[in-house]
Amino acid sequence: MKPENLVNVKSLLDWYDAHARIMPWRVSPSDRAMGIVPDPYQVWLSEVMLQQTTVAAVKSYFIAFMHRWPRVEDLADAKDEDVMSAWAGLGYYARARNLLRCARVVKNEYDGVFPSNQEDLLKLPGIGPYTAAAIAAIAFDQPATVLDGNVERVMSRVYAVLEPLPKSKEHLRGLAKALTPAERPGDYAQAVMDLGATICTPRSPNCTACPWSKRCKAYEMGIAADLPKKLPKRAKPTRYGHAFILRNANARVVMERRPEKGLLGGMLGWPGDTWAEVQKPSDPPIASAWTTATNPVIHIFTHFRLELSVHVAKADKDMPLLENFEWHDISDVRGMPTVMQKAWKAATAEFGDLG
C-alpha cells in the first residue's frame, strides 16, 4: 500500500531554490535550470568522500583531488601510494582503495563514462545502494530513492515513525520512494538532504523555518527532536598495539606500507604489531635503544577503541632495513593516517624534535 504523501514536494523545491548549500561539486538549482548538468565524476567522488564524513571535512580534499586528478582517467592512472597519501586524514581507507579500483574499471571497461542507471552503477567497486542512487539522481536526474541519515531523519519525523533504526530503515525507504518526484529528481534528492542537514537537524530542529512543518506529524505531536529513535549502541571494545618510530640525524624516519587488505590497508604506518584485545609487550622490529612515551595514544575507530604505545629510538644513519620497511623524509608523515600522525605528535611533544 502506497503511503500517504503528507507533504508537498514543490514547497521543498521552492525552499531549495532559495537556500541550496554551495558546494564545490554541486551544480546550483539556477544553473541546472539553465541546462548546466553535473559532472558524474565529481558527483561520484564527492559521494564516496562523504560516506561517514562531514561536508566540512570533505571540501578541501575534494578540491585537492580535482586539482590533481581532474578526470576519472587521471585518477585511474594515478599511483596507488599517491592517492592513499592524498586521502590521509579522511579516514575509512577502504574507500580510497575502492576509489582507485572503480576509476580503473570506468576507464577500462566504460571508456571513461560512468553508467547512468543504478543497476550498472552497483556493479562498480565501492558503490552500494545509497551511492548508486545518489549518482543516478544527482548526476543523471533519474527518480532514484536516496536514503542517507539526513533523509531517514526527515522521513521519520514527517511520518512520526516510532520504530527505532535500523529496524525502520526499509519502512523509511518506502516513504522516501513515495515522495521522490519524476520532475527534478536530482534537485529533490539534494533538497531533502539539505533539509536534514540544515533545518531538520539531529538536535534542536528549526521547525519554524521548515517548508514541511505544517504537515509534519512529529512537529504536530511535539516529538520532532526525539526522532528517529535508535537502538542502544554496544560499547566499543578496546584493542592494544605498539608503534615504533625510528629516526636519524638526517630528518628521516622508518615507515612500513601496510598490507593492501585490512584496516588502513595500503597506507604508510609506523612499524608495529597486530592490534589485539589483550595488552602485551612487543619486541621492537628493529634493534635499537628504544624509549617509551609516558602515555599511549588513544584513537577511536568505527568498531573499536585503540590504545597505541609509542616507542622512539634514533639511528646514526640510514641503516639497512628489512624488505617491508623504508626510510622516508619526515614530511611524509603528512601522508599517514590520523592515528599514525597522532603517534608522531605524541612522540614529538614528549621527546622534542625528532629530526
Distance (Å, whole) CA 23 – CA 31:
13
Give the residues across from 325 on adjacent strands.
256
User: Grid coordinates representing 81?
Assistant: 601510494
Task: Report the alpha-carbon distance of residue 32 to residue 28 in Å, rounded.
Answer: 6
Q: What is the 3-state secondary structure (H, E, C) of 73-135?
A: HHHHCCCHHHHHHHHCCCCCCHHHHHHHHHHHHHHHHCCCCCCCCHHHHCCCCCCCHHHHHHH
The total number of residues written for the chain in this structure: 355
> Looking at this protein, which amino acid is placed at residue 143?
P
- Which grid cell is 58? 570533505
Give the containing element (helix H, strand E) for 312: strand 305-315
Cell of 17: 531554490
314: β partners: 247
**Pairing assessment for the beta strands 238-248 and 305-315 based on DSSP bridges:** parallel
List alpha helices for 110-216, DSSP H: 118-121, 129-140, 149-158, 169-179, 185-198
The residue with cell 605498539 is 242
Question: Per the residue annotation, which of 4, 47, 81, 260 is the catalytic one?
Answer: 47
Contact at 8 Å (CB) between 159 and 171?
no
| Tally: H helices and E strands in the chain | 14, 7
- For this structure, is 307 an active site residue? no
The DSSP letter of residue 327 is E
Of 331, 318, 354, the C-alpha closest to 243 is 354
Q: Which residues are catalytic?
A: 47
